[in-house]
Structure 1
């Protein structure tokens, strides 16, 4: 038979399994995971304290149990804040938790009132679950899939509705009860809804953590680790898409193949660490100066590519010439003293019916012509 005590024990086991799954992600240093593991541990202690009602002091089975259960949900919420990059602590929620605990003390020791305790606890949980649902919907990164975030938002919304209706019914005296472990249809029904909270929350946060792992893997595949520019594979994929769009719309697309001049001499004279600094500085400089919509990637070694949508070859020459002159006139302070460098560029524009490889080959020939003409210049094919 399903009783409040068996429901609490099943929920404890669910929390323990959630801790085991989240613990496997601990080493990945995903923001929020530590909060979620702690939340499950606190919830287990709270539920075991609830199970001791009638066999332990009221400060433990009533006050501490309710306070810890509310704290567990607050830790889940704060973990989600950390996961989404929010650094500020939700101090209003912590202040409300203190008020809830004070209310539990009052309605336990001064004016014993079970319905009042249930009402205040349900209200606190409903508000936090509602805030969690809003956080997941509004805080979802635009570049990530919606499903993981909306799953947790939907679970939080259902739990918000459950706690909200429970609080309303007890506050108006629609249900009369004297103990959490009292066997009654309504109590068992509400506790059965409550048993869904830990597994649903655990599944939701684990899905978020795995989405973060997937994002890291995607970044490793699409972004060059040293420079932060797109990898060659990602650059070529975007280039193919831009060329296909250009064929449909007739809008021009220009490409620039960029090569740092005498890079081998930089490595030989200043060392490979200085060479890495030059690559990172160059990538940061170009990415900062390009227009919105331009695509920048590392093709290999000291060679980079720039894709310029809705741009003719002549316009791309003006853009790259400005960057070349700007770098030549500057003295990068983050590089070893006395180390300066230049770059050469080959530019061309897409022709109808050709592939990205053909376009890049012509721009590459223009780059070699710029090198042969003395380097530190921009040439069009």
Structure 2
């Protein structure tokens, strides 16, 4: 049977490895990393202080300091987890629970020395923190990403809560005689084997959550146009291909609006490139406010934008595009104390079942160039034998 001191050594080595990984992630700036590092350092301090029980060290070192480090480690880890998943940190509640537990611990160390009572008090505190961790990480689960790492932390926290609660019940009801932590009794070995691995396992789960968040951030950066906040060309194209495949399966209509801001080079030359960027951002805001939530809009070129309309045909899209064009005309862009008026030209096309996205895009692009050839500031869509053009209403 492995000795408790050896268990502490194994857990300490696991904690050092966890610290090395956390240290490599510290520069990412992800919320919760500093708290996780602090929690592991405090846990290592606690293990070292507990180990002094075998040397007959003063109780202040081997009991009070050791358990204070455990309480602070729990507070640090839970605070970091709350920040990581975007939940408020209950600092006052954590301080109250930890402070009350440590006062009880001190009383049963110096006033009425009772090992069992100390074990029950600390086990109750750890049970409460583990349950709080399980609940908090459950509330912070993402909607559209893998939840494996979150479930891992929940399971570790719940198992630890069960172990701590069982430890409290065993010593509270006198099922086993309380012994000093490092005595190699069956109960001590059983509880320590599960207990000392809690923080390394929680840290492993936290590292997985941090990694998942970092991947999500990188994907968001890659899929979002940094200037307008709309979808990037690559992300729009990939999603559009999925829309086409879905329309082929369901036989539902699908239409595309392809538009280009008129005389954008003139805007840059007259007002400067910063003003041109402001116009692009301004259009992105108007498009987001005017289009439906399910309409798939992205920036596919310098001043070119594409919108895919699931379940709509060109007639309905022409009306939506007309509202957007009127909104652009009536809401000029303000930049640097000046007002920049602009318009756009657009083409609308219906998807033909079985048609590739490239061919679909090119047909909408030809409509767009027809709108430009007819004087810009208008929208051209399919209309039987001849293209139909929609001009903006008078302001």
Give the TM interval when normalised to the shorter protein: over 0.9
The secondary structure found in structure 1 opposite 2:346 is: strand
1:225 Cα deviation from its structure 2 partner? 2.1
Q: Give the aligned partner of residue 20 of structure 2.
A: 20
Q: Give the aligned partner of residue 7 of structure 1.
A: 7
Q: Which runs of 5+ in 2 are unaligned?
A: 383-395
Separation of aligned partners in 2, 1:257 and 1:15: 55
The secondary structure found in structure 1 opposite 2:48 is: helix
Separation of aligned partners in 1, 2:145 and 2:92: 29
Confirm whether residue 31 of structure 1 aligns to residue 31 of structure 2.
yes
Q: Give the aligned partner of residue 374 of structure 1.
A: 375
1:88 Cα deviation from its structure 2 partner? 4.0
1:75 Cα deviation from its structure 2 partner? 1.5
Q: Give the aligned partner of residue 129 of structure 1.
A: 130
Count, aligned residues: 381
Q: Which runs of 5+ in 1 are unaligned?
A: none
1:74 Cα deviation from its structure 2 partner? 2.2
Instruction: Name whichever of 100-109 and 280-289 sits farther off.
Output: 280-289
Deviations, residues 113-143 of structure 1 (Å, cap 9, x unaligned): 1111111211111121122122222311102
> Is the Cα–Cα contact under 8 Å of residues 277 and 335 in structure 1 kept in the other structure?
no
Greater than 3 Å deviation, 4+ residue runs? 87-90, 331-336
> Is the Cα–Cα contact under 8 Å of residues 36 and 80 in structure 2 kept in the other structure?
yes
1:212 Cα deviation from its structure 2 partner? 1.5
The secondary structure found in structure 2 opposite 1:291 is: coil
Deviations, residues 131-182 of structure 1 (Å, cap 9, x unaligned): 2122222311102211111111111111111111111111111121242122
Inter-CA distance 380–335: structure 2 relative to 1 (3 Å threshold):
farther
Q: Give the TM-score, by structure 1 length.
A: 0.95
Q: Give the aligned partner of residue 140 of structure 2.
A: 139
The secondary structure found in structure 2 opposite 1:137 is: helix
Separation of aligned partners in 2, 1:247 and 1:354: 9
> Is the Cα–Cα contact under 8 Å of residues 259 and 345 in structure 1 kept in the other structure?
yes
Inter-CA distance 103–143: structure 2 relative to 1 (3 Å threshold):
same
Inter-CA distance 87–260: structure 2 relative to 1 (3 Å threshold):
farther
Separation of aligned partners in 2, 1:123 and 1:286: 55
Matches within 5 A, 1:203-218: 203-218=204-219
Separation of aligned partners in 2, 1:41 and 1:185: 28
The secondary structure found in structure 1 opposite 2:312 is: coil
1:196 Cα deviation from its structure 2 partner? 1.8
Q: Give the TM-score, by structure 2 length.
A: 0.92
The secondary structure found in structure 1 opposite 2:338 is: coil
